[in-house]
Structures are given as structure tokens and as C-alpha cells.
Amino acid sequence: MNVDAMNAPQEVVLSVEGLRVYFRNEEEVARAVDGVDFEVRRGETVCLVGESGCGKTVSALALLGLLPRPPGEIAGGRVRFCGDDLLDRDEEALQVVRGRRIGMVFQEPLTSLNPVFTIGEQIAEPLRVHLELPESQIRQRCLQLLHDVGIDSPEQRLAAYPHQLSGGQRQRAMIAMALACGPELIIADEPTTALDVTVQAQILSLMNRLQHAHDMSVLYITHDLGVVSQIADRVYVMYAGVIVETGAAQPVLRNPRHPYTRALLDSLPNRRKRGRRLYSIPGSVPHPAYKPAGCPFHPRCPRAIDACREHFPGMCVFDDGQVARCPVAAGRKLTDWCRS
């Protein structure tokens, strides 16, 4: 954890402004991502947290141009990576960024690795395509990568097929693939969700170590607040396609301002709540094509007032620098409720 790095002003590696991703069919428009802003600075770990279906994975896929189109479409916003706009780029120009400057690790390592190629072949591909190394060096580099991600006897693993590895080893191989060209940013989409808790801890510490060793930024997508508290420098909480709260990880987790973040934390079991009934958020996540008017969380919100039904709340800065999309919690007057 890199708390004190927070204070120094740092170069912004990735900035996303007002990103909107819609899924359209003849009858309805599902607004999966509905105006999302976030940024990742050099060397920091940023977590994007939210329930499944809130649009976190879609945002990540959209910024690399990996959305299936149609039905998905990017309806607006800007994605800047080290200064240049990624959304303007065509497929070919994106290929230079993908894998080389931004590495991606997916959730399900078994299905994300191609079953008919060896691990070695799959790790070697980005090296061959982006760095155009000679074959002899590629092999050396692959061995080094496998060693870096903690796979033992890398010589044999190079020739193994994905189904011959364990879940944890597969995810390590995925990470090796993402690391291959020394990217500036790694986007990890729930990389530990499919793994056992013990393996999860190993993978998390591995990522942490690699991040410092290579001075990378990490955008880590998860639904697990436990993971957030372990690795995040800063955190963005998403609900129904919008960011509802953001700030440095520890303050947000210790003192959440948005009712949704609070509800999420309340529904986690911990030692203090022992013996008491665990809280659960009433209702369910709204269908992305039929979101309520006003604040998207208001039907489930214990603090909702009438105004929440009509006005979409803007981001409100709290005294300690935390930011949340809840004027009620911030004690604002109705007149301040314009969109930020």
C-alpha cells in the first residue's frame, strides 16, 4: 500500500471522462455505463468496486475497444491514456496500445486462455508482435516472466497446455502474458474471483510486488471490499453505471459517505457484528434499460427524500476531501443539486 504516494502530485496515466456505453436493440437501450469519470496515476492501484452488473467490466472493456459491437456502443466520453485519446483510435491503432502499453488480466483464467496453444506460445505472442524479438530471446523472456510470476519449473510449464495447470497457475500465466511487454498500466478484471481464498491472497501479493518492481499502475476491478482494503490506494464505487463515491481507500472504507457504500460495508460480516443479524440491501440492482429517474439508488436508499426521486444528484465534496454523489448526506440545499 502506497498511502503517502497519494499526497505527491503524480502524472495521470489514464483518465476517463464522462464515458457512456449503451447496449441497444430495437426496443430498448441499456445504459450500462452512464457517464463515468475516473483516473489512474502513475504507480498507484485504483479499485473500481460495485455489484455485478453495475458496469465496471463494461467500462474496462470499452476503454480498450474490446466491447462486442454491436450490440454495445460507446455513446460518449473521452479516454485519455498518457495524453492521447483512445476512443478516437481505430482498431489498428488500438492494437499498438493493447498488450504493449496496457495489459489486461481477465476473471476466468481457464476460459481466457486458448485451450489449443501452449502457455509458452501464448506468452510469446505479444513479445513477437509488439517487440519483434528474435526467437532465442523470446524463449529467455518467457522463462523469465514465468519465473517472475512465481511459476516453478518454468521450463516444463512453457510446453504445458492451459488445462494441465491449476487455477492459480493459470492466473499467474495470464499475469505473465499481461506483463510480457512491460506495460505502463494493468487492468485486472476480478482476477481472483474464480480462485480459492488462499490462492487469492498469493495472487494479490504477487500483483502488489510486480507493480512496485515494474513501476506500473493497476486498475483493479472487483466486487470484494476485502480485496479493496488490502490493495487499493484509491477507490471508485460504482452503482448502476455511475460513480457514487470516490476517495483514498482507507477513509472511504472507514467512513463511507454515500448510503450505497455504507450499505455495502454493512452487509459485510465482521467480528464486531457477531451475533447480530447481517444487513442486506432491500430490492435489487435496477435493469440498465429501466433505471429510476433521479438518483439511481433512491428506491433502495434508507435516506432517500422526495427530491431524490426527481433530481439526478451531483458529486459533493465533503470536508475531508472525500467525494460522494449524495447531497442529502452532504447536507446540501435543494438548489445545489445540479449535475457536476
Q: What is the dihedral of CA 115, 120, 126, 132, to 10 degrees?
A: -140
289 binding another protein? (CB under 8 A): yes
74 binding another protein? (CB under 8 A): no
Q: Quote the CA–CA distance of 91 and 87 in Å, as a whole number.
A: 10
Using the contact rule CB under 8 A, the part of the chain among 63-71, 192-200, 222-230, 328-336 near another protein is 63-71
Residue selected from 14, 47, 63, 104 as contacting another protein according to rule CB under 8 A: 104
66 binding another protein? (CB under 8 A): yes
Q: Which helix (H) or strand (E) covers residue 262, if one does? A: helix 259-266
33 binding another protein? (CB under 8 A): no
Binding mask 153-172 for another protein (x = CB under 8 A): --------x-x---------
Binding mask 297-336 for another protein (x = CB under 8 A): -xxxxx-x----x---------------------------
268 binding another protein? (CB under 8 A): no
Q: Which helix (H) or strand (E) covers residue 15, if one does? A: strand 12-24
CA 4 to chain centre: 22
Put the strands of the sheet holding 45-49 in their side by side order: 102-105, 185-189, 217-222, 45-49, 234-239, 242-248, 323-324, 316-317
Give whichever of 295 and 323 is closer to another protein, judged by the CB atom: 295
Closest approach, Cβ 283 to another protein, in A, equals 5
Q: Please tell me whether residue 336 adopts helix, strand or coil conformation.
A: helix
Residues that bind another protein in the complex, under the rule CB under 8 A: 25-27, 61, 64, 66, 68, 70-71, 91-92, 94-100, 104, 106, 108, 111-117, 125-126, 129-130, 161, 163, 174, 177, 279, 282-283, 286-287, 289-293, 298-302, 304, 309
